[in-house]
Amino acid sequence: MAFTGRLTNAFEAPRDWRSAMRRGLACRCPACGSGRLFSSFLKVRPNCEACGEDLSHHRSDDLPPYIVITIVGHVIGGANLTFESFAEWPMWMHMALWPVLALAMCLGLLQPVKGGVVGYQWALRMHGFGDNRDEEAPLRVGGNEG
């Protein structure tokens, strides 16, 4: 038996983390993909409106902003250095463009990135997203093979 990096319950069905993250990035329920994930800009619904999946177990905390800062920092920093090197822009143009672009990118990315993190947590059954059968079934190491 190969170790896959996490403990699984013998009765758990595997969840595809790629499709769960894709659904989360689209701001949809990671379980069914049709219900909306958010009730407001960054507030996750307690339950899916379509399938009833309990979404209250998410604990994305500060990870989505960290990911967004990393993405935006690399894009804005790289673009700023590129334009600084090859274009003869006046300083006011830099001062007007980069902060507005950074703010727009942060606001545009924050919700889908948080959805992706919630989808990943759901797929890995983190923080109570599992079936809560830990007390009933013995744990085993590895994936769902044999």
The binding site for Zn ion (CB under 5 A) comprises: 29, 31-32, 35, 48, 50-51, 53
d(CA 98, CA 77): 9
* Among the listed residues 99, 33, 115, the one whose alpha carbon sits nearest the alpha carbon of residue 67: 115
- How near is the Cβ of 29 to Zn ion at its closest, in Å? 3
d(CA 16, CA 29): 13
- How near is the Cβ of 52 to Zn ion at its closest, in Å? 7
- How near is the Cβ of 108 to Zn ion at its closest, in Å? 24
Query: In this structure, what DSSP letter does residue 125 have?
Result: T
Spatial contact of 128 and 57, defined as CB atoms under 8 Å apart: yes
